[in-house]
């Protein structure tokens, strides 16, 4: 028989620390970075950024998706973002291998699968 869970209050929910972080080793950059969980509004904004816009060629909306997610989730040990949206293009010019490694951890931490990205893009 399962344990009976307590009913949560508004304060319980709003006070819960539900945005975990995870470290990613990046020896190519000489250390490691933290990756944080997106909050609900950030997750929605990421989803919108992956949706095909009228006039785009198929797949264009996914250009830079790794850099986009890394820019949103790379942080310091306190959870403060390392990059702003203005850094996205520069981040995208970093090693594809490194971006893929950080992207994979971020996607796992944020519950984003390849199918999710494809679905958002309408493919």
The pLDDT of residue 5 is above 70? yes
* pLDDT, position 47: 85
Residue 123's pLDDT band, with cuts at 50, 70 and 90, is very low
Q: Which residues pair with 32 in a beta bridge?
A: 25
pLDDT by residue (tens digit) across 6-44? 999 999 999 999 999 999 999 999 999 999 999 999 999
Return the number of other C-beta atoms located less than 10 Å from residue 109's C-beta. 18
Domain 20-121 annotated CATH 3.30.420.10: no
* pLDDT, position 50: 78
Length of the chain: 123
Q: What's the pTM?
A: 0.80
Which residues neighbour 44 within 8 Å (Cβ) at sequence distance 6 or greater?
none
Sheet holding 31-36, edge to edge: 21-26, 31-36, 74-75
Residue 55's pLDDT band, with cuts at 50, 70 and 90, is low
């Amino acid at each position: 028989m399962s344990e009976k869970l307590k009913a949560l209050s508004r304060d319980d929910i709003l006070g819960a620390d539900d945005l975990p972080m995870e470290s990613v080793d990046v020896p190519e950059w000489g250390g490691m970075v933290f990756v944080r969980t997106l909050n609900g509004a950030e997750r929605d904004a990421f989803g919108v950024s992956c949706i095909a816009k009228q006039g785009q060629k198929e797949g264009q909306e996914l250009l830079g998706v790794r850099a986009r997610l890394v820019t949103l989730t790379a942080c310091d040990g306190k959870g403060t973002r390392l990059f702003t949206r203005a850094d996205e293009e520069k981040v995208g010019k970093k090693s594809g291998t490194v971006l893929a490694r950080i992207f994979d951890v971020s996607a796992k931490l944020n519950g984003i699968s390849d199918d999710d990205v494809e679905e958002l893009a309408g493919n």
